A and B are shown apart, each in its own frame.
Chain A
Amino acid sequence: MNGRGSILLVLSLLVAACAGVLGTRGKPTHPFEHRAHVNKGINCVECHTSIGNDDRGELHLPTSADCVRCHQKPHDARTCADCHGESHVRLGAEMARKHLRFDHGTHLRSTHGDCVRCHADVGLERPEVLRPKMATCFGCHQHENQWTLRDCDGCHVDLAAEDTAPASHLVHDGDWMREHGVRAASLRDLCASCHSERSCAACHGRTVAALPSRLAFDDVKIAGLHRPGFRSHHAEEARAEPGLCTTCHTEQSCIDCHTRSAVAPGTATRSPHPPGFLSASRGGGQHGIQARLDPVSCAGCHGGAGEQLCVGCHRVGGPGGNPHGPGFSSRRDKSRDLPCRLCHGGT
């Protein structure tokens, strides 16, 4: 083989390997030959003999005894379903049995025994899944009222416990972690159809020791905002987008952690501020700029009673002068409400 042939061979092997890895070439499996049976005009109920019975017992899958009624000389002594049929199809049927209220008998009567009307994929050569998708149900059942009233219980036993991502009617696409706030705003109660209170509280709770990314440290697919390595660059991220942190955290969250890490005032202090931070230059130097750009970060350590530290300078006649920016207005009672009364209490 010459050099060009070798290169072509290597490239072909590489492409073949990539096709397998990227999923463009499927893993060899043995799906049940539904299509061949349908093409021979064999009615579904001839094999799925128990389909009209109660949908609370065994799955309506054919047994080897059902197969040998026609295939009288089986080529193998093992159970037919061990080789003919894919595990994910069976799993799908088991999940549907557990989580859905469904009566095959009723549907058989209303469709006059036409199973393919719902199980349309049975005619495909390699159907991905035989269980009808929810969109197929909507082909006959409009459910407009149930959608409006978030009344999913008619079909779903317990959506929150189902713990499966919807396949067709709701898709959490793109950068969902960032998007979910704006997308969920108008449809929060729809979110609650599947997600429990714990889903929200695990991140938005006042104390987040149970943060999923921390607790599920072994599940790297939970990307989230805060994988544990987030600690090293959280200051950069917080300063870059002031206010983002307050979506979930209170000032107290910052104080607690900074106190434990000894970067807060009142601890064995390692001040996070660079030298000259409190410059008395016009505009307050760096500390004035930073306080206006990112007051949330300042409030992390200097909020609450610590504000007295600010008021000591930021008062009329003090070195910090009037703290109010141009155009400042407020409806608060300056002699009674905090923080106004810190300065205006005596007026």
Chain B
Amino acid sequence: MRADALAEARSPAGLVVLEGQAREVPWFDAEALVWTGATHPDRVTGDVLVLALRLREPHGFAEVRGGRFVFTTGAIRPTAIDGVSAIGRMPWGLTVEAVGGAPVIPRFGTSVYDWMAGGRVAQHVGSRFTLGASYVREHAPEGLTNEEVGADMALVPLTWLDLAGRGAYDLSSPGIADAHGSAAARLGLVRVELFGTHRSPSRLLPATSLFSVLGDFPSDILGTTVRWDAAPRLDVLATAAGQDRGGDFGGYGSLRATLRLDDDANGTFALEGRRQDVADIHWTGIRAIAAERMSLHFRASTELEVAWADDPRGRGAAWPWGLVSLGWRSGSGWEAAAGMEAGSTPLRRFELDGLLRLSRTLEVP
């Protein structure tokens, strides 16, 4: 059981997060994550993000989850639901999943006739190959809001090569809703990944939105990420991608170097740069991070970031942001952290926030 209280000098002025997990026997566990906060002196808000029970056949042949949780599997995108999901596994690698419930209305809202149902069938071949097919439909009081079929795949043809992909096809407004593919190769100290995504924004909206009938321009991205373990404590991660956004071609790139200051990664220093050029969006950002454990109980960290838009449109020439923080951890489950963040955003020329978090972890033996 863990409780966090986060205080900020701006809305939400106070935030209490409670999370807990219990697993007394291997076939049953429960967990919860709830938060509450004040966005205004006389307005308290909150939500239950997770309140779930899980029953499990001791050898893993079947599982049932009930309550509030995020359901996602195969090409079915993450959906927070109040409902039940079940999975059955056969020793020869066949997996069958089913879900039914009501999509969560945020902040204790209710809806009388929202529901979703779906499922997935998949076949695993050892730990090397998985192929799955999924189906989901969602209803609102107005009628069908979404109906999709999807497919997913994971393949490890060679010990150094991973392939994965998933895609969903919208049946209510026929067309590909989204598709993702990734191929990663580990070559000694270097890992190279080629990735591609296709997103059709209007098909990702609830179909009851007018925007879903306006017609949209999908975004297609093809890129590569290279990670190089340059030294035992130094990692370099570089990404470069080309993008087609409704006929406008562009791309983005980033470079990040992370240096751990000791073998246990108690101290870290990182530098990151990013550039985006697509259609009418052109901006550059740099970021620096430093963190150090000062003693057994104290750690200090700071982050600095500056973003420049090529066309600021009256929102300021540069948007700098910085954070300094000090954390403390006792040996008895108490944690505290205090921080100050300051920055300039398109909305405010100068913003200064104070952050304070107090946490207590309780462990029942």
Instruction: List residues of A whose CB falls within 8 A of some B CB.
Output: 21-24, 26-27, 88, 144-151, 153, 158, 160-161, 173-175, 178-179, 181-189, 196-198, 200-202, 204-207, 209-210, 214-215, 217-221, 227-229, 231-233, 235-237, 239-244, 246-248, 250-252, 260-261, 263, 274, 291-296, 298-299, 303-304, 307, 310-311, 314, 323-326, 328-333, 336-340, 342
Contact = CB atoms under 8 A, between A and B. Distances in A.
Contact of A325 (B92, B178, B214): B214
Given A148-B93, A337-B142, A197 B47 contact: no
Interface of B: 4, 6, 11-12, 15, 17, 19, 21, 23, 26, 31, 33, 35, 37, 39, 47, 49-50, 52, 58-61, 63, 69-70, 72-75, 77-78, 80, 87, 89, 91-93, 95, 97, 104-107, 122, 124, 126-127, 130-132, 142-144, 147, 152-154, 162, 164-166, 171-174, 178, 180-182, 184, 186, 191, 193, 195, 199-202, 204-205, 207-217, 219, 221, 225, 227, 230-234, 237, 239, 243, 245-246, 252, 259-265, 268, 270, 276, 278-279, 281, 283, 285, 287, 289-291, 299, 301-303, 305, 307, 309, 313, 319, 321, 323, 325-327, 337, 339, 341, 343-347, 355, 357
Contact of A323 (B210, B262, B263, B309): B210
Given A145-B91, A215-B357, A292 B130 contact: no
A324 B213 contact: yes
A246 B47 contact: no
Given A160-B21, A179-B182, A263-B347, A307 B89 contact: no
B291 A220 contact: yes
Given A148-B91, A173-B186, A331-B171, A206 B213 contact: no
Contacts of A229: 287, 303, 305, 307, 321, 323, 341, 343
Contacts of B291: 219-221
Given A144-B126, A173-B191, A206-B104, A232 B152 contact: no
A243 B47 contact: no
Contact of B165 (A182, A251, A307): A182
B213 A218 contact: no
A232 B283 contact: no
Contacts of B345: 231-232
5 contacts: A186-B152, A189-B73, A220-B302, A263-B347, A339-B212
Nearest to B277: A240
Q: Which residue of A145, A147, A218, A251 has the most chain B CB atoms within 10 A of its CB atom?
A: A218
Contacts of B97: 189
B12 to A, nearest CB: 7
Contact of A186 (B15, B35, B89, B164): B164
Nearest to B32: A198
**Closest 5 interchain pairs by CB?**
A325-B215, A149-B60, A23-B232, A23-B233, A229-B321
Nearest to A244: B199
Contacts of A228: 321, 323, 341
Given A198-B50, A215-B357, A247-B77, A293 B279 contact: yes
Given A148-B91, A215-B6, A236-B281, A174 B184 contact: yes
A330 B173 contact: yes
A185 B74 contact: yes
Given A148-B124, A186-B152, A242-B219, A205 B80 contact: yes
Nearest to A294: B201
A206 B59 CA distance: 33
A21 B323 CA distance: 25
Given A220-B301, A236-B281, A243-B199, A198 B232 contact: no
Nearest to A308: B210
Contacts of B246: 292-293
A296 B307 CA distance: 23
Given A149-B60, A153-B58, 19 more contacts: A149-B59, A160-B23, A174-B191, A186-B131, A215-B4, A215-B17, A217-B355, A219-B301, A220-B323, A229-B323, A241-B199, A295-B209, A296-B201, A323-B210, A323-B213, A330-B172, A331-B174, A338-B143, A342-B210
B80 A204 contact: yes
A337 B208 CA distance: 7
B33 to A, nearest CB: 5
A229 B339 CA distance: 14
Contacts of B278: 240
Nearest to A128: B263
A28 to B, nearest CB: 12
Contacts of B75: 185
Given A207-B49, A229-B305, A331-B171, A299 B80 contact: no
A292 B279 CA distance: 13
B112 to A, nearest CB: 16
Contact of A232 (B63, B107, B122, B344): B344
A22 B234 CA distance: 6
Nearest to A221: B268
Contacts of B200: 243
B326 to A, nearest CB: 7
